[in-house]
């Protein structure tokens, strides 16, 4: 044996000894892939593994720098189960125990592009959903007469925190109660039993057909988004098909209804309406409405519960001039089975229809001449990027339009005593335009700070000296004022340039970047906005100085309602010089405001409606006894009728005789755009009028302060 051969043999023996020792100590222990739970047939495509590895790599650049470890794995695991079965209506306790083998290995698998856990869990999910729908259809085949509506039982309205069902029999009981509730809800809504059975059969059959059509791409998208949205709700994966839809919508060339939608549980939920879009103009669709059915023109409505968001969007989209019918569960509805149908004509959302508009309103004062207030409504922060980059001197932008409107208001005789910037329902848009708009009112200085994932802070500044308007101002906002709107409102608040009136704003203070992948795209949160004072708008929103009551549930709408939203925080303020210190005046403004609201019939009505809605939201369960449910509904309807008539009596309108007249009025309000315009017609709405009163109070306080200073 040569010396070289001996050395090789000795090194081989040494390597074996080291390997054996490490295996004993656990250092080289390799976690084998867990045995699958399900026998389902969906499996990832080859391209999905590479895409998963690319997404994991890009997530290292996320603003929230999470480590890929067991803690992250557990978060993804819980998020995936929540996305699939949010109300714990399908998986059994034994299923969850079987899935536990994946709880701490998802991070390792995803780094390697191994998607076994996601597909295995989904396959069993698909099986369990099919079992439940088949159970319901079998119950309906026996007839509604077989159901017991004299029971003393109840059904839970929210099962998201309940234990998983311990057995198939326990799950049967849950679903029988849900079926009883569905039938009861429709009976109380005046639907005949034959129609109830027919509707439910169509609904459950549609859901069953849909669940059986899922393919590998569907599973990949759901599983990967459980990963991305563990980081934050705005980090999302788009499949190649959805990437195309996203790009179309961003270019504003999409022909549809002009609504921003999101998936929530098994429903498609309206997040906001695009200003100037068909849905906003029609006035029939509202944020927080849930879409459960879609029909083309006069065709039969297709049930879309359980459908993917992109599939629902494809059904709603269509050629300009055609109509789409949407079956919706109205926001705040006590039952998911009390639906109504709205009709919207499709059209393009044109940039010019989002343009800022002006008006002048007069605010009556008890002992003085009426105050003339200019109002500029800004539906969106828009910029014609193509014309801007071409160097077109006539490019369209928010700031240029507002400048022109301000100049026109300044040139009017008589002039204006104050200015209201109305940002209600303004979901944002161009950051450039938001900072430019700030510059019209501050005369130089920082406008917003942007902090990236590495902690580096960039300050955007107004470099143009002087301001276009320096008089008293109010900014009117609501829960749907978001992003760029919050940047502008926050700057006005920090500089003391305006009193902020309305509701807490949406609370979106993050910046996203679209990154291409070999298979689809990733929208990644990479930075965060901060105000010049150092405070973030994220999660909290802009807190109004004077608050108005709105029929909006902040637990359902806004950044704080989204799982894993980045938290509120603050950084060091940048150097800026406030124009005024309005804070000492706020207590007086609020006191005078509260006195008006106590006797204003419109806001008394809103407060009473809010109290009633809050009571309904706090209900954990409802009775399944038909007699008790009818009594409960009668009490609820009597309260609603009393609230409506209290307002009508205070405003001198004719009182309604009974619930039949109130239902007819509700239907008219739902279908008549003029009754749901939120101040977009020629007559000022109560919110704008009260904002005008607050601004008039501010004008008076500033004048008194100036007189006292002069004396």
Task: Out of 75, 139, 358, 508, pick the active-site residue.
Answer: 508
Q: Which two tokens stand for residue 505?
A: 């704003």
Distance CA 354, CA 653 (A): 35
Parallel/antiparallel/unpaired status of strands 521-530 and 236-238 = antiparallel
DSSP state of 383: B
Assess whether 508 carries a catalytic annotation.
yes
Task: Kindly report the backbone phi and psi dihedral angles of residue 236, in degrees, each rounded to the nearest multiple of 5, phi listed first.
Answer: -140, 150
DSSP-derived secondary structure for 113-171: T--HHHHHHHHHHHHHHHHHHHHHHHHHHT-GGGS--S---EEES--TTSPPBSSHHHH
Q: How far apart are CA 253 and CA 350, in angstroms?
A: 8
- Residue 329's SS3 state is strand
Q: In 3D, which of 485, 578, 496 has the Cα closest to residue 529?
A: 485
Indicate which residue of 462, 494, 503, 697 is catalytic.
494
CB 286 within 8 A of CB 677: no
**Do residues 73 and 103 lie in contact, with contact meaning Cβ atoms separated by under 8 Å?**
yes
CA distances to 258, 318, 581, 694, 698 from 588, in Å: 41, 53, 14, 10, 9
Q: Which residues face 458 on adjacent strands? A: 450
Residue 255 near residue 319 (C-beta atoms within 8 A): yes
Q: Is 148 a residue of the active site?
A: no
The pair of structure tokens assigned to 562 is 């989204």
| DSSP code of residue 302 | E
Identified catalytic residue from 439, 483, 535, 536: 483
Nearest residue to 416 via CA among 370, 365, 467: 370
- What radius of gyration, in Å, describes the C-alpha atoms of the chain? 29
Phi/psi of residue 154, nearest 5 degrees? -145, 170
Contact 273, 427 (CB under 8 A): no
* Residue 269 known to be catalytic: no
> From CA 692, how far away is CA 684, in angstroms rounded?
10
Catalytic residue positions, numbered: 483, 494, 508
């Amino acid at each position: 044996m040569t010396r070289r051969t001996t050395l090789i043999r000795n090194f081989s023996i040494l390597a074996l000894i080291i390997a054996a020792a490490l295996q004993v100590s656990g250092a080289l222990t390799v976690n084998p892939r867990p045995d699958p739970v399900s026998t389902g047939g969906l499996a990832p495509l080859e391209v999905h593994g590479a895409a998963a590895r690319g997404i994991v790599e890009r997530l290292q650049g996320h603003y929230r720098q999470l480590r890929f470890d067991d803690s992250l794995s557990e978060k993804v695991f819980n998020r995936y189960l929540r996305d699939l079965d949010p109300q714990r209506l399908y998986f059994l306790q034994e299923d969850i125990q079987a899935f536990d083998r994946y709880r701490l290995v998802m991070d390792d698998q995803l780094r390697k592009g191994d998607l076994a856990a996601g597909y295995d869990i989904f396959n069993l999910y698909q099986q369990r959903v099919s079992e439940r729908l088949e159970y319901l259809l079998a119950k309906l085949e026996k007839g509604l007469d077989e159901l017991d509506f004299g029971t003393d039982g109840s059904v839970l309205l929210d099962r998201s925190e309940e234990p998983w069902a311990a057995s198939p029999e326990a799950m049967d009981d849950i679903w029988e109660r849900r079926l009883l509730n569905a039938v009861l809800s429709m009976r109380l809504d005046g639907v005949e039993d034959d129609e109830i059975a027919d509707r439910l059969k169509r609904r459950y059959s549609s859901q069953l057909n849909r669940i059986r059509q899922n393919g590998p791409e569907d599973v990949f998208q759901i599983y990967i988004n459980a990963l991305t949205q563990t980081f934050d709700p705005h980090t999302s994966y788009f499949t190649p098909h959805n990437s195309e839809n996203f790009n179309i919508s961003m270019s504003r060339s999409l022909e549809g209804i002009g609504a921003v939608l999101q998936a929530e549980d098994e429903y498609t939920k309206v997040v906001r309406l695009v200003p100037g879009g068909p849905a906003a103009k029609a006035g029939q669709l509202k944020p927080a409405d849930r879409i459960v059915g879609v029909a083309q023109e006069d065709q039969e409505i297709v049930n879309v519960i359980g459908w993917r968001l992109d599939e629902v969007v494809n059904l709603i989209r269509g050629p300009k001039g055609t109509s789409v019918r949407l079956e919706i569960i109205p926001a705040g509805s006590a039952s998911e089975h009390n639906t109504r149908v709205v009709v919207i004509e499709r059209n393009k959302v044109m940039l010019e229809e989002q343009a800022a508009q002006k008006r002048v309103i007069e605010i009556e004062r008890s002992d003085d001449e009426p105050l003339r207030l200019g109002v500029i409504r800004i539906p969106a922060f828009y910029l014609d990027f193509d014309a801007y980059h071409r160097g077109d001197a006539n490019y369209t932008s928010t700031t240029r339009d507002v400048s022109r409107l301000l100049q026109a208001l300044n040139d009017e005789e008589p002039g204006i005593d104050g200015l209201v910037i109305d940002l209600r329902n303004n979901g944002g848009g161009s950051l450039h335009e938001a900072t430019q708009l700030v510059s019209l009112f501050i005369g130089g200085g920082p406008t917003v700070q942007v902090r990236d994932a590495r902690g580096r802070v960039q300050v955007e500044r107004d470099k143009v000296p002087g301001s276009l308007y320096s008089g008293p101002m109010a900014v009117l906002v609501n829960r749907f004022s978001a992003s760029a709107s919050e940047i502008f409102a926050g700057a006005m608040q920090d500089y003391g340039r305006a009193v902020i009136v309305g509701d807490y704003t949406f609370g979106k203070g993050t910046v996203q970047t679209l990154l291409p992948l070999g298979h689809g795209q990733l929208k990644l949160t990479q930075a965060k906005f901060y105000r010049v004072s150092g405070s973030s708008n994220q999660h909290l929103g802009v807190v109004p100085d004077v608050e108005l009551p709105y029929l909006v549930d902040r637990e359902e709408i806004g950044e704080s309602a989204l799982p894993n939203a980045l938290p509120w925080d603050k950084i060091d303020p940048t150097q800026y010089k406030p124009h005024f210190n309005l804070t000492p005046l706020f207590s007086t403004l609020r006191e005078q405001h509260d006195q008006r609201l106590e006797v204003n019939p419109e806001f008394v009505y809103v407060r009473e409606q809010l109290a009633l809605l809050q009571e309904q939201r706090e209900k954990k369960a409802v009775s399944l006894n038909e007699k008790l449910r009818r009594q409960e509904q009668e009490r609820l309807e009597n309260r609603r009728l009393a609230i409506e008539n209290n307002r009508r009596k205070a405003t001198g309108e004719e009182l309604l005789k009974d619930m039949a007249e109130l239902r007819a009025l509700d239907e008219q309000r739902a279908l008549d755009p003029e009754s749901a315009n939120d101040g977009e017609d020629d007559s000022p709405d109560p919110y704008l009028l009260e904002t005008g009163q607050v601004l008039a109070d501010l004008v008076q306080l500033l004048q008194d302060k100036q007189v006292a200073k002069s004396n």
